[in-house]
């Protein structure tokens, strides 16, 4: 005759119930953490200043447009090739000095 001491044959049932309780506790903890995070996240906000919007529009226009005025380049090329392009050394020196002054 087999004896059941301290309910040893139902050991797997006890383990299953403990595991189920642990899972329920973990899910409850995760749900409460998620609820807290959603409350915090709903309080955050972002606003863009009008200056930032304007800067974004200017950057978009700059990216769309050509960086080189091809017509002006062609005019300068033809003036140099024909010998019509003259450099004013005084104006060039003043421009270089002004540029250096602005840099530093």
pLDDT one-digit tens code per residue, 43-78: 778 888 999 999 999 998 888 877 788 899 999 999
pLDDT for res 37 = 72
**Residue 40 token pair:** 């915090």
Nearest to 85 by CA among 99, 74, 95: 74
* Cα 102 to Cα 25: distance, rounded to the nearest angstrom: 67
Distance of CA 52 to the CA centre of its chain: 15
**Residue 4 in this model has a pLDDT that exceeds 60:** no
Most trustworthy range by pLDDT among 16-20, 28-32, 77-81: 77-81
pTM: 0.32
**What single DSSP character describes residue 85?**
-
pLDDT for res 68 = 82
**Residue 33 in this model has a pLDDT that exceeds 80:** no
Please tell me which residue, 77 or 1, carries the higher pLDDT value: 77
Nearest to 103 by CA among 95, 90, 87, 68: 95
pLDDT for res 44 = 77
**Are the CB atoms for 38 and 47 separated by under 8 Å?**
no
**Residue 87 in this model has a pLDDT that exceeds 60:** yes
């Amino acid at each position: 005759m087999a004896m059941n001491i301290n309910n040893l044959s139902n050991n797997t049932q006890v383990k299953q119930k403990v595991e189920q309780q642990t899972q329920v506790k973990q899910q409850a903890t995760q749900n409460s953490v998620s609820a807290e995070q959603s409350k915090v996240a709903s309080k955050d906000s972002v606003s863009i200043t009008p200056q930032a919007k304007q800067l974004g529009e200017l950057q978009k226009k700059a990216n769309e447009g050509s960086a080189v005025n091809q017509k002006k380049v062609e005019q300068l090329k033809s003036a140099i090739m024909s010998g019509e392009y003259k450099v004013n050394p005084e104006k060039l020196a003043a421009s270089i000095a002004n540029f250096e002054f602005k840099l530093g």
